Structures are given as C-alpha cells and as structure tokens.
Structure 1
Amino acid sequence: MAEHRMGSVRTVPRRAPEPAVEVLRDFGSPPPSAQRRRPSLLVPVLVGAGVTVALGVYGRTHTPTGIAVNVAGFSSPLTVKVWLGSGAAFFAVIQLLSALSMWGRLGGFSPSWAGSAHRWSGRVAFLLTVPVAVHCLYALGFADYDTRTLAHSLLGCFFFGAFTTKMLALPKRGLAGWVLPVIGGAVFVALIGVFLTSSVWYFTTFGFQL
C-alpha cells in the first residue's frame, strides 16, 4: 500500500499472511485429554500379589502331612515332585524359545507353528506345576530352614502370583509393548528358580532316580 505524506510518497511493505499450517495441525489432532488411555495393571498386580501372599500364609500356617502326591512307577512322592518340576521347566524353555521366534529374535527362524507351540507349552508347563505346588504346600509347607528351601518357597509362591498377573493382563488391549514380556519373563525366571532349588539340587545330591 502507499502512504502520501506532504507531497511525498512512501511505500509501506505489505505484511505476509500468517501461515495456517500450525493452526490446522492443532485443530486436526485431538487434545491430550482425548487420547486413549492405556489400560491399568493395578487389578492384575494386586490380585497376583494376593495369590502370592495367600499361598505363603497357607504354607506357613498349615501343618505338613509329609505325603500329598504319589504316582505309580516312582519310588517316592519327592521323586514325583522333582520330575514333574523338571518337565515344567522343559516346557517353560520351549515357551521362551517360541516367544523369541514369534518376535523375530532367533535370526529369522519363525515357523508358522510358533504361536501354537508357545500357547501349548505354557499350558503344559503350568499343569505340571499344579501337583508340585500341592505337594509343596500340603506335604512340606513353607520351608525356611536354610537358604535353598527359603528361596524355593519364596519363588514358588511368587511364580503363581506372577502367573495370575499375566493371565489377567493378557486380555487387556492397548498395553505397552514391554508389559507382557516383562511379566512373562518374571514367570519364567521364577519357575527356573524353583527348578534349580528343587530338581537340580535333588539330582546333584541323590542322582537320577525314579
């Protein structure tokens, strides 16, 4: 535009229009309060913690009976326990390897049956731990007379609590990508810890026997 002042003409530069890109971008994205919130893990964690504590309290207050589970072909209930625990640890390793395969962590080895192997190995591993837990809690109770037995008792209770948390978290959609691997890893570590403090100790102390 031009401005006249005392017979002279001065040119005033025209201001460029404000860019509307940022305004449109702001209107195009929802406000933070409208974004979807991730599901809460409070209930699964609390229930899992409750299971852990309940098993520990029962094992501590229950009077051990000495015998809970026996299977024909085994020399004693203790050998049943250590062999079932070994089987559970074996299938837990299969589940871990199948999970790594599903996530592409085995160098591209990801067969179509990895998902089925992951689910069924986990189911079998858990089913094998049930009679072991019954034997430990009902026949032996919560033992703490040395470091090994204390670690075994704590890990056993923690395993079932972590497993409960995992099962309650699985149906939830929108979880952060690290949640299930961390919970599943805790379940795996607890089970392997139980295996090391029971089956491995037994085999290295008394040898392999049925």
Structure 2
Amino acid sequence: MIDPPTTPIPRAGRATRFGPVMVALAAGAAVSVALGLYAGLHEPTGVAVNLAGFSSFMAVKTWLTTVAVVLAIGQLLSALALFGKLPGVSGGRGVAALHRWSGRLAVAVTVPVAAHCLFALGFQTFDTRILLHSLLGCFFYGVFVCKMLVLTREDSPGWVLPTVGGAVFAAMVALWFSSAYWFFTTFGVTF
C-alpha cells in the first residue's frame, strides 16, 4: 500500500469531480427558491426597524447595501490578487485575510437588509425594478451558499470558484443598482 503524499497536491494537479459542484449548485438553488417562496407566500408585516441617525429604514438599507458593495469590490480585488491576476500585487497571507474578512462583513451587513425585505416587504412583483430586485436578492443568497460549499472542495474544477465568486459579486452589484442607486437618484444622498 502506498502512503498518501505528505504535502498537499495543488488544485490544478488533483482529479476534478463535478458531483460536489452539482450538490453545491442544487443547495444554492434550493436556498434561492426557499427564500422566494417564503417571501412570496407569507403576509408581509410592513413593520420596519429604524436605526438611530437615519431618516428611514430605506436610508439604512441603502447605506448598508452601499457598504456591502464597497466590501464586495474589496473581495473582487483581493480575489484577483490571490489568483495572480492583479499586476504588481501578490496574494499573500494578508490579502487572504482581507478577502475572508471583507466577505464576512459584506454578507453580515446584508442580513438586516434581507430580513427587512423578507419579513416587512415580501416578494413583490408590481414593478419591474422591484421584481428584478426580489429575484436578485434570492439569487444572491443562493449563489452565496453555493460559493461557500464550493470553497471547501479542493477537487472541484479550477474555474468553478472564480465563476461562482463572480456571480456573487455580480448579484451584489445588481442588487445595489436596483435599490441603493435607485434610492440615491430618486431621493438624493440622504441619511
């Protein structure tokens, strides 16, 4: 019997498996559908919790989403550095820590926004922008779950993690444009 190697084999040298990727995609899809169904089937409460210093919960949601997008840009740049795609920047331990923590914070600041949207507003379809925003919110959390599951798999194809990470980033930016950008251009930059 041959002992396994003592040093990890680089991701590119490992045999790839699509089964775990398919499970991650299915889990992400299930989360997206479950959020959409819950938001669409329950009776919205219409109750908003406001934070001190803000004029409305819409302003709170706008600024939390803006913070999340800024952190997501940090995610994109640090991921590019980690994959060696950012000229002049090497992806060391500090960049990896920045990537992990900016991602954690980005998702953390979206949780109060998502909770408000789910419970107070529900899944709404009366306007194209709002329908798109509702769909994007469900998609964002589904693709985020998929990314977290793919992240732990070293035997997944090398293109999967950047693709799913890119989908998370794209969904976050699209959510910002369908909500915070709309708020800023409609009501101005207010707190």
User: What is the TM-score when the length of structure 1 is the normalising length?
Assistant: 0.80
Q: 1:114 to 1:55 in 2, by over 3 A?
A: same
Aligned counterparts of 1:111 and 1:39: Cα–Cα separation in 2? 27
- Which of 161, 177, 186 is equivalent to 1:196? 177
1:84-119 per-residue CA deviation (whole Å, 9 max, x = no partner) reads 111111100000001111222221222632111111
- Which of 76, 85, 93 is equivalent to 1:105? 85
Aligned to 1:50: 30
Q: Choose 1 or 2 for highest CA Rg.
A: 1
Aligned to 1:17: none
- Which has a greater percent of helix? 2
Aligned to 1:92: 72
- Map of 1:1-210 to 2, 5 A cutoff? 36=15, 38=17, 40=19, 41-110=21-90, 112=92, 113-210=94-191
Offset at 1:37?
Answer: 5.3
Post-superposition, which runs of at least 4 consecutive aligned residues in structure 1 deviate over 4 A? Answer: none
* Residue pair 2:16, 2:156 contacting (<8 A) in 1 also: no
1:160-196 per-residue CA deviation (whole Å, 9 max, x = no partner) reads 0000011111111221110000000111111111000
Looking at both structures, which has the greater relative contact order when contacts are Cα pairs under 8 Å and sequence separation is at least 6?
Answer: 2
For the residue of structure 2 that corresponds to 1:176, the secondary structure is: coil
For the residue of structure 2 that corresponds to 1:71, the secondary structure is: coil
Number of matched pairs? 176
* Residue pair 1:69, 1:80 contacting (<8 A) in 2 also: no
Root-mean-square deviation (CA, aligned residues, Å) is 1.5
Structure 1: runs of 5 or more not aligned:
1-34
